A and B are shown apart, each in its own frame.
Chain A
Amino acid sequence: MSFFSEDRASELKELFFESAQELLQTLNEEALALEKRPGDTETVRSVRRTVHTLKGDAAACGYRELSELAHQLEDVLTPELAQSAQATKIPEVVLAAADTFQSMLAAYRNNLQPPSGEALRQHVTRLTSAPATPEPATLAPKFLWSEYEQVVIADSAARGNAIFHVALQIDPNCPMRAAAMQMIRNVVSDCGTVLVLHPEENTPPDKIDVVEMAIASAHDEQWIARKSHIPAVVKDVVVVRAQAAPAPAPAAKAQPADDNILEIPEVHAAPAPAAAPAAEVHGAEPKEDAAKAVASDSILRVDADRIDAVLNLVGELIIGKSMLLQTVGEFDKRFAKDPLRGKFADAMAFQARVLTDLQKSVMKIRMVPVEQLFRRVPRIIRDVAKNAGKEVALQISGQDTDLDKSILDTLAEPLSHLVRNAVDHGLETPQERLALGKPAAGTIRLNAFHQGNQVVIEISDDGRGIDRGKVVAKAIERGLTSADEAGRMSEGEQLALIFHPGLSTADQVTSISGRGVGMDVVKNVLDRLKGSVSITSRPGDGTTFQLRVPLTLAIIKALLFRVADRLYAVPLGSVLEITRATEGEIHRVDNHEVAQLRNEVLTLVRLAKLSKRKASPGKKLFVVVIAIGDRKFGLVVDKLVGEEELVIKALDDHLVATDLVSGASILGDGTVVLILNIQAVIGRLGREAAKGAHA
């Protein structure tokens, strides 16, 4: 059925969608560049090139609608247009095009009928044409005779005949076209000799709207017009007497002269570029273009699944390594004097090193620079800024920081949400800013960096900041916390209240706190990623959101410990420190167990409802101090086992009916270890403690 095998075809389609996505991203960037420098021919040219490639690719994949639309856009994007008065409208149209193409792509991907793109089409045509004149309702014959027909007409004229060009418009309501054509032929042959008749005889009659002919006749124009005006068949008649010259004179009522065209005001209300302050967006300068191009030329596109398969195998190898290590350990004990021991040790060390490198290399394959995430931000800022009447300068740093591709993809949504909020609610209007002595343009800063096993992404603004007092007041009013509790919270904890669904979805808060809608979504995503989000804000100076995510989801360094003879693990990245305590040092305050950690009071959490057990005050315990966001908790454990690299095996939702465990792993000796979902554990145990208080 298809030229390519099914596999090939779907592979090509996949590639198409992927590269189309990149082309659209480029298109967005180019449009933004163009907005800053309207009429820059070089940029217009690169826009055209991008659209051109998209057109070609779409056509080759059979996505005709997209291809045609792109073709239209490509055709109007001429250097002349860039120089014309219309140049300022180009960015708007290109951005609209990027959006339309995007939705078409989405439809194609889901095998749906793509949107018609009619709005865009009109947008595009408006770029070049003075508003189109409405279809002339009246008959406007062209009388375009071929060379031979002209010879025939000239020949007849040379014999002294008067020549008339006749055009008949067939009544659209006329039912029997074939019969109508016959009547017309009969009538005109009564008028004189028909020299030429268009359309040709074999044209299907129902396709004919206008009949054009040249007649040699002894009658005059009026007579021919009257005669050929057959009621109910012919709607309109134009008769023109030919001049002596063989070339037909254009009919008087043919076309309105160009300068008669009325300026029809544009119906659609595109905001005049001057009216709304243009979003001033400073994208990160594309540095080392050439170097990047070299890289992308040798880029190999590989299905993420295949990499995951390799990663899985590496995971198995790591388990294999620990098995071997354990066996060698036993061997050591049993044959302490055996000379093979040294050789085993050497081989083990070597294998471990190679394995570590292998693992790192495979992990690196999955890593992509955060830039891919940041690239979308300028467009978002531009749109929001334009709507909200803000001026924004964007600063980007750390875009080279690498991050696991799947994490990066998941972060796109929360990031754009935070950016949108920062511009919309965080920044003041230019007037307000000037009144406060700030520069009119607000600054949004994006930053990314590695920290241990985590990647930190920061979104800051220099806007009005969050009014902590109001957030707290609102939270108390809504019963989300008590005044007492709120009083004990750190600043960060108080600010973090806006992530609470009960608060964040309430729209009134938006105007008060300057933040709000959908913040719980941001937090949920970060939780899912085993990351965290924290806020710092100074009223008047701005707000910074800090997103922390693990470098990768597949393999983690973990701390292993036992509670009630069960083996658990927590990601080492979230462990701040480990301290010792005795039952006697644990106190109860407000239904929470707390312990003193240097100068701080640490809330404790116990697994497996240990709190119900009778505690002997002398019993020694370990407290694992864990940070979530900027809150600290102490996890009370019986015994520390050690630190190990765990290959996370996802647990089927059907098998594990709890969210307390985020995954499991297998140790070298075959033991299964459960990896705790700290967020959930603290949430759950914290709640239970609170419930206990009410009971």
Chain B
Amino acid sequence: MSDPVRVLVVDDSALMRKLIPQILERDGSIHVVGTAMDGTFGLKKIEELNPQVITLDLEMPRMDGIETLREITKRHHRIPVIVVSAHTTQGASATFKALSLGAFDFVAKPKDAASAHMENIATELITKIKAAASTKLPVPKVDITPLPALRRAPKGQGKPHAAPSRVIAIGISTGGPNALQYVLSQLPGDFPGSLIVVQHMPEGFTDLFARRLDECCAIEVKEAQSGDLLVAGRALICPGNRHMKVRRMPLGNIVVLSDEERVNGHRPSVDILFRSVAQEFGREAIAVIMTGMGEDGADALGAVKAAGGLTIAQSEDSCVVYGMPKAAIERGHATRVVPLDMMANTLQAQSVAERARVVKA
């Protein structure tokens, strides 16, 4: 077994500086080497303690999280940072800002002392830290300057809802926010396919996440609501803590949200989405499994393949965490393996009219 992962905890709450290490030290392969009460000390302790992973609170006095993150990326760009974020609107907004500045990932602060809840947080934090420690990639950093108004103008509203050429389901987890942004921002406004995305993310973050994506993408991006139509040139992001399925209806195809139990420990679960896509759209479907830990989606990718749909896995060297794609590839469920920078091109090529097996309305 390798040496434990050296973690530095930066948080202004004395309680969190105690609680987070206690959560982490339950796992023998993580060693909290130190804590710091704000960014200034955090930076000093990075020099002293040489941690492999940093957990970072965003709301801190003196030097806050965002500023600290900027400094960390400037000085020690190879140390991955996991943001420990609060459940507030401002919190979510700062979190995405942090992700766009190169934070590896984020977890939501515990909001309950209940055992099950703590257990989830602990598992999530521990796996993310391990993933962060073992990642070889510098965290992908995407330019998120919103598009000029000219290109944004004709989105969604105004033009009639066009039936999509293909239905593209994407399942993605750790490392997802940046990767997803990278792919979606490269798709043209007249992209003929309709995208539905399950990104593992806590409740309260997905709405803002969708809105941020919408700002920097030519296609329309929105948080899905039950009854939303699958239309060309739009991506629907499944809200946190709900499941998403698709359904063919007489006058169009829609997404339906539900509150069933967690699957693979996740809600939303990629497996649920993929299965329903395979069932409803069969060979008209494309399922993409992207960066993330665990195996959510790997099984159901096989269902899409069996139903005649195209299945794609993100390539190992372009994944922040090569977990879900790996599981799918090992099961023989991926028809194609595509690196991140080729993903948008591949989707575009697969959805253009001449190759499309038109989704009939």
B-binding residues in A (CB < 8 A): 1-4, 8, 11-12, 15-16, 18-19, 22, 46, 49, 52-53, 55-57, 59-62, 64, 67, 71, 74-75, 145-149, 151-152, 155, 293, 296-297, 301
Q: Can you list 6 A-B contacts with CB-CB less than 8 angstroms, sorted by A residue number?
A: A19-B13, A46-B61, A49-B59, A60-B16, A60-B109, A296-B37
Tell which of A2, A46, A71, A75 touches B115, judged by Cβ atoms closer than 8 Å.
Answer: A2
How many of chain B's residues have a CB under 8 angstroms from any CB in A? 39
Interface residue? B86 (CB, 8 A)? yes
Given A4-B22, A146-B225; 20 other pairs, CB 8 A cutoff = A4-B118, A15-B15, A18-B14, A19-B15, A49-B12, A49-B59, A52-B86, A52-B88, A53-B59, A55-B86, A56-B13, A56-B15, A60-B16, A62-B114, A71-B88, A145-B227, A148-B227, A149-B227, A151-B161, A152-B251
Quick check: A15 and B60 within 8 Å, CB to CB? Answer: no
Please name all residues of chain B whose beta carbon is closer than 8 Å to the beta carbon of A62 when the two chains form the complex.
Answer: 112-114
Query: From B36, which residue of chain A is reached at the shortest CB distance?
Result: A297
Tell which of A8, A16, A52, A151 touches B252, judged by Cβ atoms closer than 8 Å.
Answer: A151
Contact string against A for B residues 70-90, beta-carbon threshold 8 Å, 1 for contact and 0 otherwise: 000000000000000010110
Interface residue? B19 (CB, 8 A)? yes
Q: Knowing A2-B115, A3-B115, A57-B16 touch, does A147 contact B109 (C-beta < 8 A)?
A: no
Please name all residues of chain A whose beta carbon is closer than 8 Å to the beta carbon of B249 when the two chains form the complex.
Answer: 148
Q: How far is the CA of A555 from the CA of B41 in the complex (A)?
A: 38
Please name all residues of chain B whose beta carbon is closer than 8 Å to the beta carbon of A46 when the two chains form the complex.
Answer: 61
Quick check: A53 and B13 within 8 Å, CB to CB? Answer: yes
Please name all residues of chain B whose beta carbon is closer than 8 Å to the beta carbon of A67 when the two chains form the complex.
Answer: 111
Contact string against A for B residues 115-159, beta-carbon threshold 8 Å, 1 for contact and 0 otherwise: 100110010000000000000000000000000000000000000
Quick check: A155 and B251 within 8 Å, CB to CB? Answer: yes
Please name all residues of chain B whose beta carbon is closer than 8 Å to the beta carbon of A297 when the two chains form the complex.
Answer: 36-37, 41
Query: From A151, which residue of chain B is reached at the shortest CB distance?
Result: B251
Interface residue? B62 (CB, 8 A)? yes
Q: Knowing A12-B22, A53-B13 touch, does A60 contact B37 (C-beta < 8 A)?
A: no
Interface residue? B254 (CB, 8 A)? yes
Q: How far is the CA of A147 from the CA of B13 in the complex (A)?
A: 44
Query: From A17, which residue of chain B is reached at the shortest CB distance?
Result: B15
Quick check: B112 and A59 within 8 Å, CB to CB? Answer: yes
CB distance from A156 to the nearest CB of B (A): 10
Quick check: A49 and B251 within 8 Å, CB to CB? Answer: no
Q: Knowing A71-B88, A151-B229, A151-B251 touch, does A57 contact B113 (C-beta < 8 A)?
A: no
Q: How far is the CA of A1 from the CA of B114 in the complex (A)?
A: 9
Please name all residues of chain B whose beta carbon is closer than 8 Å to the beta carbon of A3 when the two chains form the complex.
Answer: 113, 115, 118-119, 122
The secondary structure that dominates the A interface is helix
9 closest Cβ pairs, A-B complex: A146-B227, A62-B113, A3-B118, A19-B14, A57-B15, A59-B111, A148-B227, A60-B110, A148-B254
CB distance from B284 to the nearest CB of A (A): 18
Quick check: A75 and B88 within 8 Å, CB to CB? Answer: yes
Please name all residues of chain B whose beta carbon is closer than 8 Å to the beta carbon of A2 when the two chains form the complex.
Answer: 113, 115
Q: How far is the CA of A146 from the CA of B251 in the complex (A)?
A: 13
Quick check: A49 and B61 within 8 Å, CB to CB? Answer: yes
Q: How far is the CA of A16 from the CA of B37 in the complex (A)?
A: 15
Query: From B62, which residue of chain A is reached at the shortest CB distance?
Result: A293
CB distance from A458 to the nearest CB of B (A): 33
Please name all residues of chain B whose beta carbon is closer than 8 Å to the beta carbon of A1 when the two chains form the complex.
Answer: 115
CB distance from B179 to the nearest CB of A (A): 27
Tell which of B109, B161, B225, B226 touches A56, judged by Cβ atoms closer than 8 Å.
Answer: B109
CB distance from B158 to the nearest CB of A (A): 13
Interface residue? B228 (CB, 8 A)? yes
Q: Which of B33-57 contact A (CB under 8 A)?
A: 36-38, 41
Please name all residues of chain A whose beta carbon is closer than 8 Å to the beta carbon of B115 when the two chains form the complex.
Answer: 1-3
Interface residue? B262 (CB, 8 A)? no
CB distance from A67 to the nearest CB of B (A): 7
Query: From B60, which residue of chain A is reached at the shortest CB distance?
Result: A49
Query: From A23, which residue of chain B is reached at the shortest CB distance?
Result: B13
| Most-contacted residue by chain A among B13, B89, B109 (CB, 10 A) | B13
CB distance from B360 to the nearest CB of A (A): 16
CB distance from A182 to the nearest CB of B (A): 24
Please name all residues of chain A whose beta carbon is closer than 8 Å to the beta carbon of B252 when the two chains form the complex.
Answer: 148, 151
Query: From A52, which residue of chain B is reached at the shortest CB distance?
Result: B59
Please name all residues of chain A whose beta carbon is closer than 8 Å to the beta carbon of B110 when the two chains form the complex.
Answer: 59-60
Query: From B45, which residue of chain A is reached at the shortest CB distance?
Result: A297
Query: From B38, which residue of chain A is reached at the shortest CB distance?
Result: A293
Q: How far is the CA of A22 from the CA of B13 in the complex (A)?
A: 11
Please name all residues of chain B whose beta carbon is closer than 8 Å to the beta carbon of A49 when the two chains form the complex.
Answer: 12, 59-61
Query: From B228, which residue of chain A is reached at the shortest CB distance?
Result: A147
Query: From B119, which residue of chain A is reached at the shortest CB distance?
Result: A3
Tell which of A15, A59, A64, A152 touches B14, judged by Cβ atoms closer than 8 Å.
Answer: A15
Q: Which of B159-201 contact A (CB under 8 A)?
A: 161
Please name all residues of chain B whose beta carbon is closer than 8 Å to the beta carbon of A296 when the two chains form the complex.
Answer: 37
Query: From B35, which residue of chain A is reached at the shortest CB distance?
Result: A297
